Each structure stands twice: as C-alpha cells, then as structure tokens.
Amino acid sequence: MSSEVKHTETPYRIGLRKTGELYIATPNVNGVFDIIAEMACRGTGKDEANAKFICQCCNSHQPLVDCLKELVRRDDYGSLRLPTQAKDAMVKALKLAEKDE
C-alpha cells in the first residue's frame, strides 16, 4: 500500500439508513457527511458495536500516536524516566500504528 494516499480525515461517525443499514461517514467542507464505508448488517446486534469500535479507534488513533511520540521523545532527552518495559511497549505500539500495509 502506498504511503502517498492519505485516509479520509476524521472524525468518523455512524449513520443509519432508513433501510436499517449502517454506514461510517465523515463531514466534508460543506458540512455534509460523505459515506466512507458501508457496514454489512447481519442483524446480530454486533454490527452497531463494530461500527462504534471502528469510529472510536479511528478517531482516537492520531491523538494516541502523538501522545506516545511525545512521551518517547521526552524520555530520550532525559526529562522522563520511563521504565524500560513501558518504553519498549510504546515503541512497539508506535511501529505497529505507523506500519504501512
């Protein structure tokens, strides 16, 4: 996957069609929501939970990455003294979050 193409800007939100189908959308510059994903609804009750989870993960991803980067940066410069195990976990999480697949 090319790193040149960027994902649709957050925040993402859940929408519900009159037919009961779920979708994930994001506001465009005109304030209208653009659908970026449609959910295959099976009527199990998990569909809405999955859509909420996707939105929550996507909406919180960049703030969490930025926070981890700042903590690692401060530790690298000696202003924090993170336990080695905690710092290793942060670095591992950052590598996973920034992996281009």
The per-residue pLDDT for range 39-92, each reduced to its tens digit, is: 887 767 788 899 999 999 999 999 999 999 999 998 888 888 889 999 999 999
Q: Does any domain span residue 35?
A: yes
Q: Does any domain span residue 62?
A: yes
Confidence tier at 101 by pLDDT (50, 70, 90) = low
Q: Does any domain span residue 4?
A: no
H or E element at residue 74? helix 46-76
Residue whose C-alpha is closest to residue 91's, from 73, 56, 100, 80: 73
Q: Does any domain span residue 23?
A: yes
Residue whose C-alpha is closest to residue 36's, from 50, 48, 22: 22
Contact yes or no for 25/15 (Cβ under 8 A):
yes
User: How many domains does the chain divide into?
Assistant: 1
Confidence tier at 36 by pLDDT (50, 70, 90) = very high
pLDDT at 1 over 70: no
| Bridge pairing between strands 22-27 and 33-38 | antiparallel
Q: Which domain holds residue 77?
A: 13-97
Q: Does any domain span residue 57?
A: yes
Q: Does any domain span residue 3?
A: no
Distance of alpha carbon 74 from alpha carbon 70, whole angstroms: 6
Contact yes or no for 22/51 (Cβ under 8 A):
yes
Q: Does any domain span residue 28?
A: yes
The structure's pTM equals 0.78
Q: Does any domain span residue 6?
A: no
